A and B are shown apart, each in its own frame.
Chain A
Amino acid sequence: MAAEASPFNIHPMDQFVIKPLFGNGDILWYTPTNATLWMGIAVVAVVVLLVLGTRGRAIIPSRSQSIAEEIYSFVRKMTEDIAGKEGLKYFPYIMTLFMFIVLANVLGLIPMSFTTTSHIAVTATMAMAVFVTVTIIGFWKNGMKFLSLFWISSAPLVLRPILAIIEIISYFVRPVSHSIRLAGNMMAGHAVIKVFAGFAGALGIGAVAPIVAIMAVYGLELLVTVIQAYVFTILTVVYLNDALHPAH
């Protein structure tokens, strides 16, 4: 890097490059990559948090067990509050999404790590999975009545076709905003930290301001990672509620 002419050889996007774990070959669909590694670490983190943490099964919980119980109760309560008792059937899926996203996000904040959720490929897959599943559930549970989601009976009759068009467009835009919101937040935060880190490298010893800025942004990012995981999950539950109870 030192060979480059510009003092600001900052490459904030390099951290998002996918690389194979072994060798330098092409990346085929099954090639283990850095994304594989960090998804695997997320799985390990799930096991540590929710399985090892609760192995005591104590009536009076240990610290790790309290954390697991808190996360469980938090997501479960959110599901029940928004989607009702019928929504609890889908709680394991919601919990799966939440655990993966929150852990991938937070693990991505470890220096030199790779943030799997900063990739549209990942978030869009999850968002599409949610979209397709929720749409199928909607038609399966309610039949053609599911379309009443788009036909707002409380609006004046003249407005209803117009509103229906808007509702349908907004329905199909859901997975786009759902996925880009998460990936965009992750990517932007990490890129900003990397840019400040580049400034710090360029300034050398006197890089107080960039380092302070990195600390500040890092704290903010920690907040954002958890909030975005929460937002993704709560939107999933809201969509699920629309499918279960389409009438406005």
Chain B
Amino acid sequence: MASESTEVAHGAAEAGHAAAEHYVGMPQLNFDWYANQIFWLAVTLVIIYLILSRVALPRIASVLAERHSAIANDLERAEALKQKAVEAEEAYNKALADARAEAGQIVAAAKQDIQKDLDVAISHADAEIAAKTVESEGRIGDIRNSAMQAVEEVALATATAIVRKLMPSIDDKKAVSAAVKARMKGVN
């Protein structure tokens, strides 16, 4: 690469020495090369400009715009779906509330029915219980009466026996009976 640069470089000629294998000074200041560089630079820039303005930039711009609108569309759709979801939730809540109210009514009706049945049953049971109570009381009264009678008899017999043993002279059944009866009244 170094050997080639010798013949090429005008700068080498300017530097003009035997050791001019290498460029002396700044190649940037060799004005002989300016026209060439400027020409090719102009060509390059025009080509790049044409590539960019005809192909690359419109394409990238359209891709970006497309993406932008796609995202906007998606957002819009998401918004619509969200709206739908809100409506669905409202409908659901309404249905739930309706169902609750209906259930409340059904429960109240059922309660009334049950209460009615219950009242009937209770009054039935009360009546039965009252009847049973009356019957039982009658039986208890009977039992007590018979028991009292038995007690009176036992007391009379006992008292008669006692009186006969202690005072054989007095054997007045009627008096003893009267005395026992009088006593029993106090007990009763």
Give the interface of A toward B (CB within 8 A): 1, 4, 11, 13-14, 16-20, 24, 27-33, 35-36, 39-40, 42-43, 46-47, 50-51, 54, 57-59, 61, 65, 68-69, 72-73, 91-93, 95-97, 99-100, 112, 116, 118-122, 125-126, 183, 187
Contact = CB atoms under 8 A, between A and B. Distances in A.
Contacts of B33: 18, 27, 33, 119, 121
Interface stretch (B60-68, B144-152, B159-167, B174-182): B60-68
Nearest to A32: B40
A40 B47 CA distance: 10
Given A69-B63, A125-B38, 17 more contacts: A13-B22, A17-B5, A17-B9, A19-B5, A19-B9, A20-B8, A24-B8, A30-B39, A35-B37, A39-B41, A39-B44, A54-B59, A65-B63, A97-B45, A119-B37, A122-B38, A122-B41
Interface centre among A13, A32, A96 (most CB of B within 10 A): A96
B60 A29 contact: no
Interface string B29-59: 1101111111111111101110111011101
- Classify the interface of chain B: helix, strand, loop or mixed: helix
22 contacts: A4-B19, A11-B2, A13-B22, A19-B4, A27-B8, A40-B44, A43-B44, A50-B51, A51-B55, A54-B63, A57-B62, A57-B66, A61-B63, A69-B63, A92-B52, A95-B52, A99-B48, A100-B48, A116-B37, A121-B28, A121-B37, A122-B38
Contacts, number: 161
Contact of B26 (A13, A30, A58, A112): A13
Contacts of B62: 57
A47 B51 contact: yes
A118 B37 CA distance: 11
A189 B49 CA distance: 28
A9 B131 CA distance: 139
Interface residues of B, number: 51
Given A68-B56, A121-B28, A96 B48 contact: yes
B119 to A, nearest CB: 75
Interface of B: 1-2, 4-5, 7-11, 19, 21-23, 25-30, 32-45, 47-49, 51-53, 55-57, 59-64, 66-67, 70
B47 A187 contact: no
A46 B59 CA distance: 14
B56 to A, nearest CB: 4
A40 B51 CA distance: 13
Contact of A116 (B1, B19, B41): B41
